């Protein structure tokens, strides 16, 4: 945390030095209106916090589906089925070797009209497929890190392969996969900004609209960046706490 604070302070100092030569008239006092708004009913979220709420929804559903896609691909890669391993390999190579923006546009402009899928489900599907490809390798590596003797112990107790995965292997693999999965979740938060390209009113899109209306370029984008940073640091802190808990009880 101290390193993050030092880096942030250095960036702020460098930014202030570089922006001093622009003779820019700062209007930070106007940013509060986009975070919280007070009316007759009391305080309510401003447009930036509303966009953050949409971002949270996208990240939550995308992360849940990414874990499912990733686990399915990892299990297929570890299966004895040649067809299953081939399907998983094609999925991984196609997704990991093409840009996320291209995948998003393909799903939105080609697949969505055929099946009548809306913007929000399309964005969630694109992000979950993309992040799931990377999560699958993390999950596979975590499963392979479990000692082979655990498989033998599970089979000696009469567990099937599925039961061994559920009760023995995956619980132990969590300790290995939690740190890299946290990094993938942070990456998902940042990648979610691309959904603004298909007119979803997430945090980034709301920031773009505010800048277009008010020309508060630096104030708005610095605020948006600070919000993304706060979310990412919170996820990292949560994962660190979970890691310590697993190390204590497992």
Q: What is the pLDDT of residues 167-197, one digit of tens each?
A: 888 888 888 888 888 888 989 999 999 999 9
Q: Is the dihedral of CA 79, 81, 84, 85 positive or negative?
A: positive
Arithmetic mean of pLDDT over the chain: 89
SS3 38: strand
For every residue of the chain, which 3-state class applies, written as one string?
Answer: CHHHHHHHHHHHHHHHHHHHCCCCCCCHHHCHHHHEEEECCEEEECHHHHHHHHHHHHHHHHHHHHHHHHHHHHHHHHCCCHHHHHHHHHHHHHHHCCCHHHHHHHHHHHHHHHHCCCHHHHHHHHHHHHHHHHHHHHHHHHHHHCCHHHHHHHHHCCCCHHHHHHHHHHHHHHHHHHHHHHHHHHHHHHHHHHHHHHCCCCHHHHHHHHHHHHCCHHHHHHHHHHHHHHHHHHHHHHHHHHHHHHHHHC
CA proximity to 218, closest of 4, 30, 7, 47 = 30
∠ CA(63), CA(151), CA(176), 5° rounding? 35
Q: What is the pLDDT of residues 100-154, one digit of tens each?
A: 999 999 999 999 999 999 999 999 999 999 999 999 999 999 999 988 888 888 8
Question: Which residues on neighbouring strands pair with residue 38, listed in sequence order?
Answer: 43
Domains and CATH numbers, the chain: 55-200 (1.10.3720.10)
Global model pTM greater than 0.75: yes
Query: How sure is the predictor about 34, in pLDDT bands with cuts at 50, 70 and 90?
Result: very high
Query: How sure is the predictor about 25, in pLDDT bands with cuts at 50, 70 and 90?
Result: confident
């Amino acid at each position: 945390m101290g390193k993050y604070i030092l880096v942030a302070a250095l960036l702020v100092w460098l930014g202030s030095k570089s922006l001093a030569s622009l003779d820019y008239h700062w209007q930070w006092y106007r940013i509060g209106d986009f975070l919280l708004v007070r009316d007759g009913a009391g305080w309510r979220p401003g447009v930036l916090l509303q966009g953050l709420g949409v971002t949270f929804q996208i990240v939550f559903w995308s992360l849940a589906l990414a874990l499912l896609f990733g686990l399915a691909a990892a299990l297929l890669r570890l299966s004895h089925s040649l067809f299953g391993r081939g399907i998983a390999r094609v999925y991984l190579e196609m997704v990991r070797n093409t840009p996320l923006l291209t995948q998003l546009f393909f799903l939105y402009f080609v697949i969505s009209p055929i099946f009548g899928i809306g913007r929000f489900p399309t964005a969630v599907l694109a992000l979950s497929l993309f992040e799931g490809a990377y999560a699958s390798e993390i999950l596979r590596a975590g499963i392979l890190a479990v000692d082979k003797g655990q498989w033998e112990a599970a089979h000696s107790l009469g567990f099937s392969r599925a039961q061994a995965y559920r009760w023995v292997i995956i619980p132990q693999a969590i300790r290995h996969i939690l740190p890299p999965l946290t990094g993938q979740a942070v990456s998902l938060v940042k990648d979610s900004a691309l959904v603004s390209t298909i007119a979803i009113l997430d945090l980034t899109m709301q920031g773009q609209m505010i800048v277009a209306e008010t020309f508060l370029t630096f104030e708005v984008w610095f605020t948006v960046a600070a919000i993304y940073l706060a979310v990412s640091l919170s996820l990292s802190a949560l994962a660190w706490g979970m890691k310590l808990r697993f190390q204590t009880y497992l």
